[in-house]
């Protein structure tokens, strides 16, 4: 951004911002010095399973709501209209299914890491493959998360970009390492509140400075930014009801159903119904967060439509425009720019700290502990802390990668979730819903899913097949030439390509698959290839898998159908807990060790009893 247009932070802004960082470190220090002082991995990674519902749910939203969404969603709405809002429809099934299928199954197995499931269901190799894929996903995502607020602060105030990246990384590493999961959850609560406050402040001031609600509404309508329900079934159409509302469900499942950063928090509840309740409580807050960012995009549109940007923006990124808008709105109101930047950092810190903590957990539980079973508790805690620190440093390196990509941060984040999260979701689905799937099928499926996802993902980057239709940039149909130059040549190219849009064919059509389908597409490949390979190499037989690792789909379906008297009844082959114990004699298949089964089953049962007597 042109330095002459940068707004300056007043002293009050710096104070507000510094207070946020200090408060987060303070919470970390408090939990480092109180309670069990983070001396056990149970406390450090699981918060002693003692957290309450409200903090857990606020923390649950915080883990996948970062500065990326706060900046990226308004930028998306500004350029493409409100179609993205329909992703909110995917939140319904995307949260109900985890609450009633994934979380209960994983919770009853009393796992520390979600990937432990893969070993119980398949084998050690599958667990390691799943864990490595998860680590890969979270490390790239963390890079985007650390980079975004630093980029924003730099664009807004000229503050040193890499200095900010470094400070964010360090502050976060510090409180995560000091205070463990309890600090992560309580800082999340505080940071989520700051996040909402920042967004609301920008909207209120923005509406007021644009001439009130009715004026905003008029301009938004004139500029054609309010998108109706687009029911076009074409999967290459970037945003339609189907890509967002249905494709988005897979994205949500990969994030809220099987991602360690989420699952770990749900495990931090002592009794099972609370763990389910926390899934429900995420829904309204996620909708609120989505709604606020969409409204911010609309207000921004109302403010700038038809205005000349050429002098103001030195960057072609639409993300930079959001920052410009915010600083433009909040100037002359000391403290508010600081609050907004604090909001971005809050959102980012809460996401990064969850990622650190979950990465430390899976590395410890899935990659280290199995090889050093006799490691002392003190040493394990020390290693977990060292891990949290090293991931902190790694994510700084990843931030640089994001910088090089220079794409819209929201797109980058959602593509990562689809391309890498989708295959992980597929692996869990294969294990939970298909009793025949074996370990070889799982590894082959995961490999094929990743290859498929990267093929289409990289193909779309190389051939620039985004499927995006850009709306005319102005409230007035006759766009000024100045605005066209301001937004850059990209706009005119894209607008033209929309006008002369010819349907891609062959491989190009495949590369134009909407990124919202990446998760569903790769999940499906994992299941199909996984099942094929399983059947070719000798499928597992009914009841052979470790008890409790297969979801009784038929039983649940018939229970669901009994609500609808007109539906035919499905005969139930076995009850949810009636799996016979396996002797695991079939070759190539996982045999749960005696010790494992003993450790798991009594706990699992006691959990169920706890669940039934709790409320």
Rg of the chain over Cα atoms, rounded to whole angstroms, equals: 25
Site string for Na ion, 149-178 (x = CB under 5 A): ------------------------------
Question: 398: Cβ–Cβ under 8 A, 6 or more apart, which residues?
Answer: 139, 140, 142, 143, 144, 146
- State the Cα torsion 350-354-359-361 to the nearest 10°: 150
Work out how close the CB of 289 gets to ligand BTN at its nearest, in angstroms, rounded to a whole number. 5
**Nearest CA among 42, 588, 31 for reference residue 369:** 42
How far apart are alpha carbons 7 and 320 in whole angstroms?
13
**Can you tell me which of 135, 138, 203, 347 binds Na ion, judged by CB under 5 A?**
347
CB 197 within 8 A of CB 339: yes
Work out how close the CB of 57 gets to Na ion at its nearest, in angstroms, rounded to a whole number. 14
Binding partner of residue 64 among ligand BTN, Na ion, none, CB cut-off 5 to 8 Å per kind: ligand BTN
User: Count residues contacting Na ion (CB under 5 A)?
Assistant: 6
Work out how close the CB of 285 gets to ligand BTN at its nearest, in angstroms, rounded to a whole number. 9
Work out how close the CB of 221 gets to ligand BTN at its nearest, in angstroms, rounded to a whole number. 26
Work out how close the CB of 75 gets to ligand BTN at its nearest, in angstroms, rounded to a whole number. 12
Sign of CA dihedral 426, 427, 428, 429: positive
CB 171 within 8 A of CB 17: no
Binding partner of residue 413 among Na ion, ligand BTN, none, CB cut-off 5 to 8 Å per kind: ligand BTN
Asked if 133 is part of the footprint of Na ion (rule: CB under 5 A), the reply reads: no
Asked if 351 is part of the footprint of Na ion (rule: CB under 5 A), the reply reads: yes
Work out how close the CB of 290 gets to ligand BTN at its nearest, in angstroms, rounded to a whole number. 6
Burial of 78 (0-12, 13-18, 19+ CB in 10 A): buried
How far apart are alpha carbons 542 and 526 in whole angstroms?
21
DSSP 466-529: ----PPPSSSSSS--HHHHHHH-HHHHHHHHHHHT-----HHHHHHTS-GGGHHHHHHHHHHHH
Q: Which residue has the tokens 């064919």?
A: 505
Q: Which is nearer to ligand BTN, 265 or 590 (CB)?
A: 265
Q: How many CA atoms are closer than 13 Å to the CA of 363, on its beta-carbon side?
A: 21
Burial of 1 (0-12, 13-18, 19+ CB in 10 A): buried
Q: Which is nearer to Na ion, 319 or 366 (CB)?
A: 319
Binding partner of residue 350 among ligand BTN, Na ion, none, CB cut-off 5 to 8 Å per kind: Na ion
Q: Which is nearer to ligand BTN, 66 or 534 (CB)?
A: 66
**Can you tell me which of 164, 177, 350, 549 binds Na ion, judged by CB under 5 A?**
350
Asked if 210 is part of the footprint of Na ion (rule: CB under 5 A), the reply reads: no
The span of 11-19, 345-353, 428-436, 481-489 binding Na ion (CB under 5 A) equals 345-353
Q: Which is nearer to Na ion, 114 or 347 (CB)?
A: 347
Asked if 185 is part of the footprint of Na ion (rule: CB under 5 A), the reply reads: no
Provide the 8-state DSSP code for 233. -
Site string for Na ion, 24-63 (x = CB under 5 A): --------------------------------------x-
Work out how close the CB of 15 gets to ligand BTN at its nearest, in angstroms, rounded to a whole number. 27
**Nearest CA among 273, 246, 358 for reference residue 99:** 273
Binding partner of residue 286 among Na ion, ligand BTN, none, CB cut-off 5 to 8 Å per kind: ligand BTN
Binding partner of residue 362 among ligand BTN, Na ion, none, CB cut-off 5 to 8 Å per kind: none
Work out how close the CB of 411 gets to ligand BTN at its nearest, in angstroms, rounded to a whole number. 10
**Can you tell me which of 24, 38, 57, 66 binds Na ion, judged by CB under 5 A?**
66
Residues of this chain that interact with ligand BTN (CB under 6 A) are: 64-66, 68-69, 87, 145, 251-252, 255, 286, 289-290, 351, 410, 413-414
Binding partner of residue 62 among Na ion, ligand BTN, none, CB cut-off 5 to 8 Å per kind: Na ion
How far apart are alpha carbons 220 and 222 in whole angstroms?
5
Q: Which is nearer to ligand BTN, 66 or 460 (CB)?
A: 66
**Nearest CA among 433, 439, 438 for reference residue 540:** 438
Binding partner of residue 241 among Na ion, ligand BTN, none, CB cut-off 5 to 8 Å per kind: none
DSSP 356-414: HHHHHHHIIIIIIGGG-TT--HHHHHHHHHHHHHHHHHHHHHHHHHHHHH-S-HHHHHH
Asked if 148 is part of the footprint of Na ion (rule: CB under 5 A), the reply reads: no
Catalog residues that contact Na ion under the rule CB under 5 A. Answer: 62, 65-66, 347, 350-351
């Amino acid at each position: 951004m042109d330095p002459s247009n940068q707004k300056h932070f007043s002293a009050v802004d710096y104070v507000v911002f510094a207070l946020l960082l200090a408060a987060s470190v303070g919470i970390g220090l408090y939990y480092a010095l109180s309670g069990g002082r983070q001396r056990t991995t149970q406390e450090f990674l699981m918060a002693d399973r003692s957290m309450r519902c409200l903090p857990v749910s606020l923390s649950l939203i915080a883990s996948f709501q970062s500065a990326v969404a706060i900046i990226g969603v308004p930028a998306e709405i500004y350029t493409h209209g409100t179609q993205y809002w329909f992703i909110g429809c995917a939140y319904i099934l995307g949260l109900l299914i985890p609450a009633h299928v994934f979380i209960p199954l994983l919770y009853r197995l009393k796992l520390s890491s979600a990937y432990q499931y893969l070993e119980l269901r398949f084998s050690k190799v599958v667990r390691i493959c799943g864990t490595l894929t998860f680590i890969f996903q979270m490390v790239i995502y963390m890079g985007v998360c650390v980079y975004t607020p630093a980029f924003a602060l730099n664009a807004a105030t000229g503050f040193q970009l890499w200095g900010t990246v470094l400070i964010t990384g360090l502050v976060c590493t510090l409180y995560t390492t000091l205070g463990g999961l309890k600090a992560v959850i309580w800082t999340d609560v505080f940071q989520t509140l700051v996040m909402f406050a920042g967004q609301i402040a920008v909207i209120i001031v923005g509406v007021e400075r644009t001439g009130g609600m009715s004026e905003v509404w008029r301009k938004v309508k004139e500029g054609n930014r309010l998108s109706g329900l687009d029911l076009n079934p074409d999967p290459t159409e970037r945003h339609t009801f189907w890509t967002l509302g249905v494709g988005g469900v897979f994205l949500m499942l990969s994030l809220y159903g099987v991602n360690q950063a989420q699952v770990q928090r749900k495990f931090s509840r002592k009794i099972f119904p609370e763990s389910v309740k926390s899934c429900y409580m995420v829904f309204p807050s996620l909708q609120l967060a989505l709604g606020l960012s969409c409204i911010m995009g609309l207000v921004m549109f109302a403010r700038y439509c038809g205005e000349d940007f050429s002098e103001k923006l030195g960057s072609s990124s639409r993300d930079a425009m959001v920052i410009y808008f915010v600083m433009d709105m909040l100037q002359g109101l000391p403290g508010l720019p600081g609050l907004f930047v604090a909001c971005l950092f809050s959102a980012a810190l809460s996401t990064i700290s969850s990622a650190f903590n979950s990465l430390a957990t899976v590395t410890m539980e899935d990659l280290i502990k199995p090889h050093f079973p006799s490691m002392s508790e003190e040493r394990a805690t020390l290693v977990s802390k060292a891990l949290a620190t090293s991931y902190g440093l790694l994510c700084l390196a990843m931030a640089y990668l994001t910088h090089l990509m220079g794409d819209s941060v929201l797109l980058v984040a959602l593509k990562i979730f689809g391309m890498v999260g989708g295959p992980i979701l597929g692996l869990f689905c294969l294990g939970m819903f298909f009793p025949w799937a074996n370990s070889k099928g799982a590894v082959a499926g995961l490999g094929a899913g990743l290859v498929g996802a990267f093929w289409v993902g990289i193909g779309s980057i190389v051939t620039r097949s985004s499927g995006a239709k850009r709306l005319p940039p102005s409230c007035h149909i006759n766009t000024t030439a100045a605005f066209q130059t301001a937004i850059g040549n990209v706009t005119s190219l894209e607008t033209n390509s929309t006008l002369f849009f010819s349907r891609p064919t062959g491989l190009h059509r495949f590369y134009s698959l909407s990124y919202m389908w990446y998760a569903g597409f790769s999940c499906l490949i994992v299941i199909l290839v996984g099942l094929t390979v399983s059947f070719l190499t000798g499928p597992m037989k009914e009841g052979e898998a470790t008890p409790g690792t297969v979801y009784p789909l038929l039983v649940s379906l018939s229970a669901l159908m009994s609500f609808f008297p007109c539906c035919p009844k499905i005969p139930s082959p076995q009850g949810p807990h009636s799996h016979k114990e396996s002797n695991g004699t079939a070759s190539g298949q996982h045999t749960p060790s005696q010790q494992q089964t003993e450790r798991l089953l009594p706990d699992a049962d006691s959990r169920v009893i706890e669940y039934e007597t709790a409320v």
